[in-house]
Structure 1
Amino acid sequence: MTTAAPRIRVQRRPVHGVLLLDKPLGLSSNQALQKAKWLLRAEKAGHTGTLDPMASGVLPLCFGAATKFSALQLDAPKRYEAVALLGVTTTTGDAEGQVLSRGAVDPGVLAPERLAALARRFTGRIQQVPPMHSALKRDGKALYEYAREGVEVERAPREIEIFELKMAPAPASEAQTAIKIEVLCSKGTYIRTLAEDIGRQLGCGAHLVALRRIETGGIGLERCVTLPAFEALPEAERLARLLPVDTLLAGHERITLEAAEAGRFLSGLRRRGPWPELAAVAVYGEQPAALLGLGHVRAGELVPDRLLSPIEIQQILQEEALSS
């Protein structure tokens, strides 16, 4: 009788920062997160918005204190590249579903002027019905759970915004016709639903066969590392790939407080100063130079919103000292 080898317990440690990951196909966002968390031996981690297993691309991962700001990326505009296969509809709106219908595709639908006109029609604020195969909940139950049971739930249309939309013919086999889609959109946009709606407007139906996020909140693929490349790095170099905690705060105005004021702000007290009205600011201490948290300015008062703990600040300063 053979005995199983004992499991090696990973010694977790405080890790603070942001990893810009190019998520691979086939993994859920959480699976990719857990893999990176294990490779870093990090105590705390979170991602910044779900990418389906069939989608790849930009996925910022937050560790330690950076998890306090992960929600900022949820609200950020996203840019995708996608391919929609025309003439075929599926139960899920993508290639993972069962085929619902097949139909002929008029070659004229690929005419540049027709695609350009359709792109203009879908640009701006539009209404979109969320798909059944989504994580949205009804009565505490995800829609995809109803879908698996064969139950169709009525969904109210939601307003989204398409900032930019480009479409062009995509390479396909002789028996198939596809279009390439590049879209910059607001949060809450379902690209497979967009592909289905485009197919419906073209009169032939469509479903999504490829999806890649190429940018989120101004963060592009060129800054990302793949999971295999990250795993291949020595442990010290993995830590070096982490970006500072305030990476996700690039669009925030910066306010710096001297030591005594920084201490009071960090304890949750409002501070008065000559600041204009600001909805979101990144607040730093002057000495030592360290991020304290997020706040906003109203009527001359700096109001704390999301604060780092003194322990987190100390650990971040120690990490910076070791890496310098």
Structure 2
Amino acid sequence: MGSIPPKPSVHGWLILDKPLGLTSTQALGKARRLVGGKKVGHMGTLDPLATGVLPLAFGEATKLIPYIQDGEKEYLFTVRWGLKRTTDDGEGEVTAQSPVRPTEEKIFMALRSFVGHILQTPPAYSAIKIDGKRAYALARGGKDPQMTPRPVDVYVFDLVKMIDADHASFRVVCGSGTYVRALARDLAESLGTYGHLTALQRTRVGIFSIESAISLEKLEELSHKQAAQTALLKVGSALDDIPGLILTASDAGRLRAGQGLLIRPDQMDFMDAPILLASHRGTPVALVKAEGGVFRVVRGFNF
């Protein structure tokens, strides 16, 4: 009997539209079963009650996660006024109530103080570690984790719609580490009431938007046609907003060997770039940075 040929390697990005009710890890597992691939990671965890953009990195794309995971994120969400819950979303127990319902004018005025470089206290039910233990584990065990305020960046915080007296929808664009549940909680408190999330959709992570995301149902349809991998974006697509360095075959060989490349006069414009994607004939070779007149390898790719 002849030997079984090895399965082809899987490299690229799958932009998943995570459904309600699944953890990010569960969603990753289902996508991996349909697409294949040995090495898969996700960028930016979504809670089970959240939906939307969950970028999944396959193969060599996983090497890019540390370099792009701190990019901007965009969310649409709904706040329910008047109820305080332990988890700051619809899962937790109600711990306080208020009859106060903010007006549209007051909401507009309050939003201004939540835009910029602000201090935010993360929710008690979060994955932040306190003395080596997850805050949510402490909270579920009946303890009161002491959450330390930390700086976050909020670039846009808009009121989208006054749905009714009890609900309003918002759009926020923020930096990594921002808790939307905490924004909802703190906004409500600044308006003299309580509030928690009832719906949360992530619509963008970096350059990946909900318009390019695929559902698990659609991915399963493609899998039945042996075409699930056609949903993958190229490895370098995550870096479309950073400068690219086009290599000759000999330069590509030097970088693959871990050697540096002397910066030519016509490449001086790249000197101040924090990182560049070096590629040869459309195939990523390495992430490089300019250092001491030389392009040095930060992370190499193996295709």
- Per the TM superposition, whether the score is higher than 0.5 is yes
Question: 3-state DSSP class of the match of 2:22?
Answer: coil
Aligned partners of 1:266 and 1:292 also within 8 Å: yes
Q: After superposition, where does 1:142-157 map in structure 2 within 5 Å?
A: 142-157=134-149
In structure 1, C-alpha distance between the alignment counterparts of 2:96 and 2:21, rounded to whole Å:
26
Aligned to 1:136: 128
Aligned to 2:180: 191
Aligned pairs for 1:141-180 (under 5 A) are 141-172=133-164, 177-180=166-169
Which of 274, 279, 285 lines up with 2:280 in the alignment? 285
1:259 is matched with which residue? 249
**1:161 partner amino acid:** D
Report the alpha carbon displacement of residue 164 of structure 1 after superposing the two structures with TM. Answer: 0.6
For residue 242 of structure 1, what is the aligned residue in structure 2?
232
What's the CA shift for 1:267? 1.6
| Correspondence for 2:288 among 278, 292, 295 | 295
Aligned match for 2:82, one of 77, 84, 87: 87
The answer for the alignment partner of 1:203 in structure 2 is 192
Equivalent pair of 1:13/1:43 in contact (CA under 8 Å): no
Q: Which amino acid in the other structure matches residue 53 of structure 1?
A: P
CA shift digits 1:141-192 (9 cap, x unpaired): 11111111111222221111110111154424xxx61111110001100000
Correspondence list, 1:36-115, <5 A? 36-106=31-101, 109-111=102-104, 113-115=105-107
Q: How does 1:204-223 map to 2 (within 5 A)?
A: 204-223=193-212
State the secondary structure of the residue aligned to 1:70: helix
- 1:38 and 1:237 mapped to 2: Cα distance? 13
String of CA shifts for 1:59-79, please: whole Å, max 9, x gaps.
Answer: 111111111112334201101
- 2:3 maps to none
Structure 1: tracts of 5 or more residues without a match: 1-10, 314-324
Residue in structure 2 matched with residue 3 of structure 1 by the alignment: none
TM-score, scaled relative to structure 2: 0.92
| Conserved 8 A contact 1:21-1:225 | yes
SS in 2 for 1:179: strand
SS of residue paired to 1:134:
coil
Q: Which moved more, 1:47-56 or 1:150-159?
A: 150-159
Q: Deviations over 1:57-111 (max 9, x none)?
A: 01111111111112334201101000010000000111010111112024xx223
Give the match's secondary structure for 2:27. Answer: helix
- Cα offsets for 1:29-79 (capped at 9, x unmatched): 111111110111211111111010000001111111111112334201101
Instruction: Give, in angstroms, the shift of residue 241 of structure 1.
Output: 1.1
The letter of the residue matching 1:298 is E
Q: Which amino acid aligns with 1:98?
A: E
Q: Extract unaligned runs of 5+ from structure 2.
A: 1-5
Q: Cα deviations across residues 270-298 of structure 1 (Å, max 9, x unaligned)?
A: 11122332211001125xx4211211112
Residue 158 of structure 2 corresponds to residue 182 of structure 1: no
Q: Is the 8 A contact 2:90 2:196 kept in 1?
A: yes
Contact 1:12 1:41 in 2 (8 A): no
Q: What is the alpha-carbon distance in structure 2 between the residues aligned to residue 161 and residue 263 of structure 1?
A: 41
The whole-number CA distance in structure 2 between the counterparts of 1:103 and 1:16 is: 51
> Counterpart of 1:316?
none
CA apart distance, 1:12: 6.4
Q: RMSD of the TM alignment (CA)?
A: 1.6
Q: TM-score when scaled to structure 1?
A: 0.86
Summarize the Cα distance change of 1:104–1:214 in structure 2 as closer, same or farther, 3 Å threshold. same
Counterpart check, 1:14 vs 2:9: yes
CA change 1:12–1:30 in 2 (3 A) is farther
- Match for residue 117 of structure 1? 109
Count of matched residue positions in the alignment of Structure 1 and Structure 2? 292
Is the contact between residue 11 and residue 61 of structure 2 (CA under 8 Å) also seen in structure 1?
Answer: yes
Q: Distance in 2 between matches of 1:59 and 1:170?
A: 28
